[in-house]
Amino acid sequence: MQKENKKPDRGDLQQNLSEKFVWAIAYGSCIGWGSFILPGDWIQASGPIAASIGIFIGALLMIIIAVSYGALVERFPVSGGGFAFSFLGFGRYVSFFSSWFLTFGYICVVALNATAFSLLIKFLIPDFIEFGKLYTIAGWDVYITEILIASFLLLIFMFIAIKGASVSGTLQYYFCIAMVIVVVLMFIGSFFGTNFDLENLKPYNGPQYGWFQAIIMIVAVAPWAYVGFDNIPQTAEEFDFSPNKTFKLIVYSLVAAGATYVLMILYTGWLSSGGSDLWLTGSVTREAFGSIGLGVLAIAIIMGIFTGLNGFLLSSSRLLFSMGRSGIMPTVFSKLHPKYKTPYVAIIFLVALTLIAPWLGRTALTWIVDMSSTGVSIAYFVTCLAAARLFSFDKNSKTYGPVYKVFAIIGSIIAFIFLMLLLLPISPAALSLPSHIALAGWTILGLIFFFIRLPKLRKMDKEELTQLILDTNKKEVDRMIDE
C-alpha cells in the first residue's frame, strides 16, 4: 500500500520563466523569419489587402483554438503541454502519435530557421557562401560554407538551451524588442521611401483570384504562420507566475504576431510596383533605402531567425522531456543537467537531428517543413477535442465550463478544416507530392517505433502515467472527465 501512495519522481525543472519571457517565446516563435521573407509570395498570390485580411482572420481563428490551450494549462500546468493534453483526452496511444508529429513539426522549424540564416548571408554576400560546392539536390546547390554556418548556429543555440530557460527567455525577450523596434521604424519610414505609392496596392486581391479564394489561400497558412503560440503550454512547468494568465499571454502574442505580418505585407505592397522578385521585401527595401535599409531589414530577419531557433528548441525539448519522463519515449530524454536543471539529453538529441538539415538543401527541406504543418494541425485538433471532452455543460460538474466547451468544439472544427486544407488535393493550400511522400515516410517511421515500444506501452501503470504526465492522480482525472 505504501508503494501505491509513493509519488513518482517528475524531475526538478526550475520555475524561472516570467510573463514577459513567455510572451516573447510565443511571439518570437510565431514571427520567426516568415514575416520578412513571405509577404512577397503572399502579395503575388493574393494581393496585399486580401493577404492582410487573410492573415488577420488566421490570427482570430488561432485565438479560438488557443482558448482550449489556456483552459487546459490553467488546470494542468505541466511540461510538454501538447503531449499531456492528448494523453488527458485519449490516452497513451493517441498521445504517442500526436506528439510524434508535433515534435517533428517543431524541429523542422528549428532546422528551417538555421538554413534561413545561411540563405540571408547568401543574399547579402553571395561570394562568401558560394564557395566549396558539394552537390545539387532538387535544383538547389549545396555549399560546405552554408552547412558550416547553419551547423555553428544550431550548436550555439544548443548551449543556450542547456544553460536554462531563464537564459533562453531573457535572450528571446531582447531579440523580440529589437525586432519590434525595427519593424515599426521600417513601417513608418516606408511613407518616405522613394518608391512609396498607395496605387502599388492594386490589384488588392491579386492578379488571378476572386476575393474569397485570395483570402482563403492565406487563411490556410495560419497554422504554419502562427505556430509558436503553442510553445507556451510546453513550458508551463517553468512558469514563475499563475498559469491562469496563459490565455492572456497567448492572445497578446497572436495579436502582436498578426500586426507584424500585416505591417510587413502593407510595407512590401506599397513599396512594390508589381515585381516578381524572388525576395520582394528585400528588393523593395533596397530600392527605397539602399544598402543601409537592407542592413536594417537584415537585423530584423536575424532577430526573427534567432527567436524561432530559441523558442522551438526550448519547446520541443520540453515535449520530448515529458514523453521521456512518462516512459512513452526512452527515459534518457528526461535526464536533467545536474547544474542547470534542463533536459540536456533531449536538447542534444534534437540538435543532432537538425544538423542533418543543412545537408539536404533548401528545396528538399521546404518539402519536409510543409509536411510538418500537418503535425501542428493534428496537435491543435487533438488538444481542442481533449478540452471538449474535459469541460462540461453540467452545472454540478467539477469541470463546468460552457464557454470553454463551446470554444473547444468550434476550435476542433477549425483545426480539422486546417488539416483538410493541407491534405485534400483540391485545396488551394494542399501539400505538394514531395511533402506527401515525406509525411508518409514519417508516419511509417512512427509506426515502426510505436510497435517496437508497444510491449512497454502496454505494461505501463495508468496511475503512475497520469501522475508523471499530468501531476494529478488518475481518480481525480477520471472523475473530471466522467462526470
pLDDT for 10: 61
Looking at 113-122, 268-277, 462-471, which range is the least confident one?
Answer: 268-277
Average pLDDT along the chain? 87
Residue that is written with C-alpha cell 482563403 in the block: 216
CB-based burial, 324-333: b 16+ in 10 Å, e otherwise = bbbbbbeeeb
* 252 to 30, 192, 247, 454: CA distances (angstroms): 12, 30, 9, 41
The DSSP letter of residue 143 is E
Q: What is the rounded distance in angstroms from the CA atom of residue 17 to the CA atom of residue 402?
A: 31
27-40: average pLDDT: 87
CB atoms within 10 A of CB 247: 19
The pair phi, psi for residue 9, each rounded to 5°, is -75, 120
Q: Flag whether pLDDT at 385 surpasses 90.
A: yes
How would residue 274 be classed by pLDDT, with cut points 50, 70 and 90?
low
- Is the distance from CB of 80 to CB of 322 less than 8 angstroms? yes
Residue that is written with C-alpha cell 546547390 in the block: 141
Q: Please choose, from the candidates 390, 404, 392, the residue with its C-alpha nearest in 3D space to the C-alpha of residue 67.
A: 404
Q: Flag whether pLDDT at 294 surpasses 70.
A: yes
pLDDT for 2: 40
Enumerate the β-bridge partners of residue 136: 141
pTM (two decimals): 0.89
Q: Flag whether pLDDT at 67 surpasses 50.
A: yes
Q: Flag whether pLDDT at 65 surpasses 80.
A: yes
CB atoms within 10 A of CB 100: 23
Give the residue with greater pLDDT, 207 vs 251. Answer: 251
How would residue 4 be classed by pLDDT, with cut points 50, 70 and 90?
very low
CATH class of 19-482: mainly alpha
Q: Flag whether pLDDT at 429 surpasses 80.
A: no
Q: What is the percent of the chain where pLDDT is above 70?
A: 95
Q: Flag whether pLDDT at 79 surpasses 70.
A: yes
How would residue 9 be classed by pLDDT, with cut points 50, 70 and 90?
low
Q: Flag whether pLDDT at 74 surpasses 60.
A: yes
Q: Give the list of residues 6+ apart from residue 476 with CB closer than 8 angstroms, or none.
A: none
**CA 113 remoteness from chain centre:** 11
Q: What pLDDT digit, counting tens, does each position of 99-116 carry?
A: 888 888 888 888 888 888
Q: What is the rounded distance in angstroms from the CA atom of residue 51 to the CA atom of residue 53?
A: 5
Which grid cell sits at 422? 493541407
Q: What is the rounded distance in angstroms from the CA atom of residue 323 to the CA atom of residue 318?
A: 9
Q: At what angle do helices 462-470 and 474-482 cross, to 10 degrees?
A: 90
pLDDT for 482: 58
pLDDT for 423: 86
Helix (H, G, I), strand (E, B) or coil at 402: helix
